[in-house]
């Protein structure tokens, strides 16, 4: 201690290694963790827990090195394009138990190579956005959504890697075939049903109806044209009959002198 009673710089306490790590960890949480979320240590990786926070949209300040992101049990209604494009290290994304109805075609851009699990269960998804999910290699959970079973859904499922643990819980809330409403979708597809064949039959019927309509229009025009010509011919004949006839002279032709 110096003559003035103050500690000299050399006598100030120096933080130990553990204190420095704790200080850096606290500073990191204070600057990078989204508001109202928690960022616990996840096996040395960054995990962001925003579960049941009343969120209506996806936070925009999620750390770029996040590996696990939990956004479940909120009130998120849509996933816009590019919502996670800066999270190229993300491995697990939980969006379950929200109110998601629409997903942008580029909602998961930037995640195609690294994402391993995408949970979209317990939402309000009626139609699968093939453009948004078709490029992902992650296992996808889609159970407990009010899906409309149709050809587009069947074609989309062919391109997805569904989570085997929840695939049996994907059911038809509505369907182009009423007998499959409320039944597991995979069970219907395994039985050999094809919603696309129904779609094609409907398209063929529509084409036949359209062709019949055009054919009826042509026949109607031909009949009208023939009748109109008959009417014109009748009027012309009546007109000719109404003309005065020229009298023919009965005197013999006089011989030339």
Partner residues linked to 148 by β-bridges: 174
More confident position, 257 or 75: 75
Q: Residue range 129-154: average pLDDT?
A: 94
Average pLDDT estimate for 67-91? 97
Chain segment 201-251, per-residue pLDDT in tens: 445 456 666 776 777 778 877 777 777 777 777 776 776 667 676 655 555
- Burial class of residue 135 (count of CB atoms within 10 Å of its CB; 0-12, 13-18, 19+): middle
**Is 131 or 218 the better-scoring residue by pLDDT?**
131
Rounded average pLDDT over 181-193: 89
For 183, half-sphere exposure in the C-beta direction (CA atoms, 13 angstrom radius) is 16
Cross-strand partners of 79: 103
Most confident by average pLDDT, 15-19, 27-31, 249-253: 249-253
Given 3.40.50.620, 3.80.10.10, 3.20.20.20, 1.10.230.10, which CATH number is that of 45-193? 3.80.10.10
Q: Which two tokens stand for residue 231?
A: 């009417």
Name 78's bridge partners. Answer: 102
Domain boundaries, the chain: 45-193, 195-237
Dump pLDDT digits (tens) for 37-51.
999 887 788 999 999
First to last CA, the chain: 173
């Amino acid at each position: 201690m110096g003559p003035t009673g103050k500690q000299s710089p050399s006598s100030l306490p120096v933080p130990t290694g553990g204190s420095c790590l704790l200080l850096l960890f606290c500073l990191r949480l204070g600057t990078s963790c989204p508001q109202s979320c928690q960022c616990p240590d996840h096996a040395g990786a960054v995990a962001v827990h925003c579960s049941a926070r009343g969120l209506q949209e996806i936070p925009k300040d999620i750390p770029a090195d996040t590996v696990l992101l939990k956004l479940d049990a909120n009130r998120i209604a849509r996933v816009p394009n590019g919502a996670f494009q800066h999270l190229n290290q993300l491995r697990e994304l939980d969006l379950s138990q929200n109110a998601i109805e629409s997903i942008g075609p580029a909602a998961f851009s930037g995640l195609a190579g690294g994402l391993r699990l995408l949970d979209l269960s317990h939402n309000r998804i009626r139609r699968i956005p093939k453009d948004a999910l078709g490029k992902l290699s992650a296992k996808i959970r889609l159970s407990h959504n009010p899906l409309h079973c149709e050809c587009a859904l069947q074609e989309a499922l062919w391109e997805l890697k569904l989570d085997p643990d929840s695939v049996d819980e994907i059911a038809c809330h509505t369907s182009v075939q009423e007998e499959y409403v409320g039944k597991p979708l995979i069970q219907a597809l395994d039985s050999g049903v094809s919603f696309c064949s129904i779609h094609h039959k409907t398209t063929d019927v529509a084409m036949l109806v359209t062709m019949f309509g055009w054919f009826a229009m042509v026949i109607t025009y031909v009949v009208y044209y023939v009748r109109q010509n008959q009417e014109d011919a009748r009027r012309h004949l009546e007109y000719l009959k109404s003309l005065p006839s020229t009298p023919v002279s009965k005197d013999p032709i006089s011989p030339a002198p």
